[in-house]
Amino acid sequence: MRIDLTGKSALVTGSSQGIGLAVAAGLAGAGARVVLTGRDAGRLEEAAAGLPGEVTWVAGDLTTDAGHAALIEAVPAVDVLVNNLGIFGSADPLAISDDEWRRYFDTNVLTAVRLTRHHLPAMTANGWGRVLYVSSDSAVVTPAEMIHYGVTKTALLGVHRGFAKAAAGTGVTVNSVLAGPTRTGGVEDFVRELVPGDLPWEEAQRRFMAEFRPQSLLQRLIEPEEIANMVCYLASPLASATTGAAVRVDGGYVDAILP
């Protein structure tokens, strides 16, 4: 199977590092023209320079009206939209303020809703397009130490299913990817928060998986490229019959026999 996105354009939010950057690299490697987004222009420029093909970037805060408008002006239309932007962190469930709940929903959900609302009509008019949301195993197995994150990822599943129905019969597919515990810079910091002591990384990772993610059948953190492989497949013409789906790349973390 060869993923070929030659001639297609793709926008990946939150793509200066981690899963987003891995997705952008995969799409660019498949021939797509890729646009990176993030708040730090320097990191975006560095990330773009390391990718193959035609890669550009737009810096801005997509949680603001100005940041969203600037991105739409710079990138008015795309063939593939990957809503990857997200924040996470541990918190006492009873101490999460209303403002923090709003920040998580603004970042993890509403940025994706706004971009989908803009790009989906043109995709359906063209008869082809891909809208993808990077969700999480936390969408269905809510972690006690970050329920605000988990609930926003649950919300994305409803968002993608609803937009998939709005695009029914048009040639546009809308899907979510349930990413399992993935090794990114942010997750490494998260592991260090939860695993006490100055342990070597491999031992800290093993303790984190054993104590906080014991359901994982993989029994290790997933690499960002492993998530990107699924996103790139779903973004391609090969996945033309998959829509409205929540596809798992979770290392067997979710204890269910259905996807």
| Count of domains for the chain | 2
Q: What is the pTM of this model?
A: 0.95
Does residue 187 form part of some domain?
Answer: yes
In the numeric block, which tokens belong to residue 16? 């200066």
The predicted-structure confidence for 200-222, as pLDDT tens digits, reads as follows 999 999 999 999 889 999 999 99
Query: According to the model, what pLDDT value does residue 198 have?
Result: 86
Q: Are 161 and 243 in contact (CB under 8 A)?
A: no
Whether residues 167 and 59 fall in one domain: yes
Please give the helix or strand (H or E) that residue 136 lies within, else none: strand 129-136
Does residue 254 form part of some domain?
Answer: no
Query: According to the model, what pLDDT value does residue 4 have?
Result: 97
Whether residues 217 and 102 fall in one domain: no
Does residue 240 form part of some domain?
Answer: yes
CA angle 165, 113, 243 (to 5 degrees): 30
Rounded distance, CA 91 to CA 182, Å?
19
Rounded distance, CA 226 to CA 14, Å?
17
Query: According to the model, what pLDDT value does residue 246 have?
Result: 97
Query: According to the model, what pLDDT value does residue 186 have?
Result: 84
What residue numbers bound the domain in which 200 lies? 183-221
The segments of the chain whose pLDDT lies below 50 read none
Whether residues 147 and 94 fall in one domain: yes
Residue of 104, 133, 149, 253 marked catalytic: 149
Residue 161: CATH number of its domain:
3.40.50.720
Per the annotation, the verdict on 149 as an active-site residue is yes
